[in-house]
Amino acid sequence: MNNNSMNNVLSRRQLLSTVSAAAAGAMFLRDSICRAENPAANVEDRGAKLRITSLRGFRVGTKAYMKIETNDKIVGWGEVTGLDPNVAVALAQSLFELLNGENPTRIEHLWQKMYRSHRDMRGGPFMTHVISAIDMALWDITGKAWGVPVYRLLGGPTRDKIRVYPTAKAVKTGTGGPHPFSGNPSEVKELVKRVKDARDRVGVDGTVMFDAHCAVPPPMLIQFANAIEPYDVLFIEEPAVPGNIEVFKRLKQSIRVPLATGERDRTIWGMLPYLQERAIDILQPDCGHTGGISQMKKIATLAEAYFVPLAPHNTCSELGLTASMHVAASIPFFLIHEAYLDGHIMPPGVAKKNWQVDKDGNASLPEGPGLGVEVDESMFEKVNADPRKIFKWPTPKQPDGSVTDY
């Protein structure tokens, strides 16, 4: 190659380099201008640097409250129900090993990390109940970090109010205790009277539900259900003890009153058989049992595919109840929500909600940020001093002394 050819090659290379540099500069300038003009490009991820620094469990009467703290001073609260609170606190302290230093806004990741951490404890009620409370607290933190109610993070509200019970126009009556297999006319008649009295109390424009509580054996339940058809019961709750889907299928084939269950079933895997076998009309997951807000939202979506609404079960205080209400606010297929207020579960002031129930039995949506519940730790000692607020293992039995379901 002669000198002229070499010079031409160098000139072309220099020209290409100059053009490339100019193009790169133009692209950088353009991107900078676009970022400046695009608000989304300037939004700071306020959760990126959050880290969990502590997890503390508190026995509060028969419940356990979980408090998660972060390096940014944002605190989240959750509630465990249906479990010895001393056991719940100890298990939560053990689970902190999996949460320490983690980003609390990675809620799904942390749920999976806890639930699947030990192959021999996966899906157990003790583990899942405690995870439920931790999950609530993580959602509480995340909502506070973004300054919005949790239901905004779940897709936004699908309704303006949430129907609850018990109220003057929506009541649930129960069995009055375990019943034997006999189903004698006098026993069936006594249960039917409970439903009739409830219907008379709320009128034809009110709602009546019946909680079988797994305490009415299937043969007697079939007799009873056929007798209450004239009273238009919204649903019979817990028609059978969970564990054998064939029992639920047999009851569904024999009973025309809608059947509801789910409070003793956990996660999407526990609910799926009812839907696949068309054995239930209404699902009743409990946010404090089933895996928290994360699982309850998934259960609602699963049920939606089968056109089955949720009527969430809840025996939490205002803390866990409000967590469940955030899910109810965000799902399309919803029927009615169990909600015990006025100190029924926990003395007033321990967990302070910011929503109200109107005269028609409809609750307003929780206000944010987070769950929208203030917890007063100074009242824990007072609650624990009440001898009526001590967890005791139930001992249900039949008149002959045999153990029974209740």
Q: Which residues are catalytic?
A: 213, 313
Neighbouring residues of 323: CB distance < 8 A, sequence distance ≥ 6: 78, 79, 136, 139, 140, 150, 287, 292, 293, 316, 371
Taking the CA atoms of residue 250, residue 253, residue 256 and residue 258 in that order, the dihedral angle to the nearest 10 degrees is 60
CA of 323: how far to CAs of 230, 245, 294, 299, 382, in Å? 36, 29, 10, 15, 24
Residue 406 Cα distances to 82, 151, 345, angstroms: 14, 34, 20
CA 247 to chain centroid, in Å, comes to: 26
Amino acid identity for residue 255 in this structure: I
- Rounded Cα gap, residues 171 and 251, in angstroms: 24
As a whole number of angstroms, the distance between CA 70 and CA 76 comes to 9
Cα–Cα distance list, 278 to 40, 152, 252, 303 (Å): 45, 32, 8, 11
The region, left, alpha or beta by phi > 0 then psi within -120 to 50, assigned to residue 251 is alpha
Q: What are phi and psi of 375, to 5 degrees?
A: -105, 130
**Interacting residues of 176 by C-beta distance below 8 A, sequence separation 6+:** 190, 191, 194
Q: Which of 291, 286, 292 is nearest to 312 (CA)?
A: 286
Look up residue 41 and give its DSSP letter.
Answer: G
Q: Which amino acid is at 382?
A: K
Residue given tokens 């190659």 in the structure block = 1
Pick from 136, 67, 167, 83: nearest CA to 297: 136
